[in-house]
Amino acid sequence: MAGVDYLADERNKAEFDVNEMKIVWAGSRHAFELSDRISRLVASDPAFRKDNRPMLSRKELFKNTLRKTAHAWKRINELRLTEEEANKLRFYVDEPAFADLHWGMFVPAIKGQGTDEQHQKWLPLAYKMQIIGCYAQTELGHGSNVQGLETTATFDPQTDEFIIHSPTLTSSKWWPGGLGKVSTHAVVYARLITDGKDHGVHGFIVQLRSLDDHSPLPGIIVGDIGMKFGNGAYNTMDNGVLRFDHVRIPRNQMLMRVSQVTREGKYKQSNVPRQLVYGTMVYVRQVIVSDASYALSRAVCIATRYSCVRRQFGSQNGGAETQVIDYKTQQNRLFPLLASAYAFRFVSEWLKWLYTDVMQRLQANDFSTLPEAHACTAGLKSLTTSATADGIEECRKLCGGHGYLCSSGLPELFAVYVPACTYEGDNTVLLLQVARFLMKTVSQLGSGKKPVGTISYMEQAEHLMKCRCEVQRAEDWLKPSVILEVFEARATRMSVACAQNLSKFANPEEGFSELLADLVEAAIAHCQLIVVSKFIEKLRQDIPGKGVKQVLGMLCNIYALHILHKNLGDFVSTGCITSKQASLANEQLRSLYSQVRPNAVALVDSFNYTDHFLGSVLGRYDGNVYPNLYEEAWKDPLNDSVVPDGYHEYIRPILKQQLRTARL
């Protein structure tokens, strides 16, 4: 029945002001109103239809994405959207496309690493999309190890040009989105060589294709790297391969804000601090953490609504079966993911502030907080993307067999999201960067140098190494001060233990290599503490709306206590808590699940996602799942004919043979 809200009873149970929670989730009233307006604009435009994606061939899929991207650009110009509005429109179109790297990496790279003159030349062209760029860093043989890149840029003083060359097969650029078939230009990262000396990896603007007929320029071999994981998903994107055969570019196409090569071929540093390059990295990773909260919240929204619609077992005397969401096993798996989505949203909000703070300090030649900010963003990128990828898959399982259908929206969401665990830094490699920072911090304790920012708790290391948790009753676990101290003690003790074990090795690098697994665990503990602490900080703010702060407090406690439960070995073995206190934490966790249960649907409604954006029959706002699942099934191309293609060729001969055998 159209127009019936099958989840109305669930929505009526809410104990908080949903409209105010929508504003809290969005970050501000302005952000909420902008997102709401743009998401509905996209949802109402039939040109942005996406339900047929999994059924399209690769070529159809790619051409369809070209059409949508062109239509989006047309609408952006017709409606004269601001940069903020245009970014939101691209986000809600919800399709990996060549323009993602143009706006997300190519333009920021030129802005961050180009000179004023380069800004004046290239940015107007890029902003009008008169050129389309990508970001060519990763190679076939090297990704995370940027210093190991093999592409070369050799300066020729006779012609005042750089010669860009791929000396080996493994130096082929591999993976850049937009490169395969669309990009006209790329920011290419290559080893700068002048007068036989290697100055390390630098960025260069290189034209790849003719602006007249789009054919590759001389010396350039470029193409698509092939099908990727999943139906639809990232197969809408032309991830590419690129090789250079002694391609010449003018000297002024080296990005020279930080480092320069003179007309005479002399390499020199500019007076702009090299550390400014890290500002772009902090920005990109902040965006990735924000994207993690959106992706996880989408999956949780689908799984929560469907868990209320789906009923299994428990019926007595012919009555209704039990809603799946009322089973404690379902709550134990689902509600921590709901809490994580909110936790990641708030930590990404804080990262926006951190980026602004870091950039202001860098402009004033204050680099004191940069190492901590770099480690913090690296760790949070790793933590949130890994948890989100795992969480989306868990939500698919929470939807039972129907979660495996493409029409559930979850398989494609997973396939689109999971590359985040690798791009912009492999997650394990990033955690090891965090671990190095932690080991350096521990080594400086007592030296008079104060730990800053997210590592400032280490200043209390002496206390945190000895303190004992004072929890005596389950409700004691609801005290933010108790949770914070326990998480700080665990992180400190794990880091100090690693440092002590490292000190036993004569060769520090050999020790680091031997203790990699322990160091990764210490880094995770530190990052989980950051997320918990930022959630608690959020709760200390003035949050309007009936019951909003209270229900957010429940989610904060669920996030923290679930992390504690999943990592009990760390907390108990380091002496932070006793086994009895662990049992009390689990008791409190079960109680919190019961308290969140009536608010579950309202909490996912607060994400304010349209049905178009969710792209899921199971996660429909109205909860009318089964008729629509049935209807979707008949749309599959296999159902275009009653008798399948190939019946006469393959099936009929088998059947007739079986019939003849049966008569014998």
Q: Does 610 carry a binding-site annotation? A: no
Alpha-carbon separation of residue 643 from 528, 638, 639, 650, 651 (angstroms):
56, 9, 9, 12, 10
Alpha-carbon separation of residue 242 from 134, 235, 653 (angstroms):
12, 18, 49
- Is there a contact between 237 and 98 (Cβ–Cβ < 8 Å)? yes
Residue with tokens 């000297």: 251
> Which entry of 95, 139, 424, 488 is annotated as an active-site residue?
424
Decide if 424 is catalytic.
yes
Q: Is 258 helix (H, G, I), strand (E, B) or coil?
A: coil
Strands of 220-224's sheet in order across: 173-174, 240-244, 220-224
Q: Is 174 helix (H, G, I), strand (E, B) or coil?
A: strand
Which alpha helices (DSSP H) does 503-636 contain, by range? 508-514, 516-539, 548-566, 568-573, 579-596, 600-605, 611-614, 625-633
Count of alpha carbons within 13 angstroms of residue 341, beta-carbon side? 25
Q: How far apart are CA 114 and CA 116, in angstroms?
A: 7
H or E stretch including 184?
Answer: none
Q: How far apart are CA 98 and CA 131, in angstroms?
A: 12
Tokens of 414: 């997973």
H or E stretch including 199?
Answer: strand 197-207
* Residue in 476, 484, 496, 561 with CA at minimum distance from that of residue 529: 484
Q: How far apart are CA 504 and CA 572, in angstroms?
A: 25
- Is there a contact between 179 and 222 (Cβ–Cβ < 8 Å)? yes
Tokens of 274: 């090299």
Q: Does 401 carry a binding-site annotation? A: no
Q: How far apart are CA 366 and CA 267, in angstroms?
A: 25
Q: Is 441 helix (H, G, I), strand (E, B) or coil?
A: helix
H or E stretch including 637?
Answer: none
315 C-beta neighbours (distance < 10 Å), count: 11
448 C-beta neighbours (distance < 10 Å), count: 6
DSSP summary character for residue 425: S
76 C-beta neighbours (distance < 10 Å), count: 18
DSSP summary character for residue 492: H
List the catalytic residues.
Answer: 424
List the binding residues for FAD.
138, 177
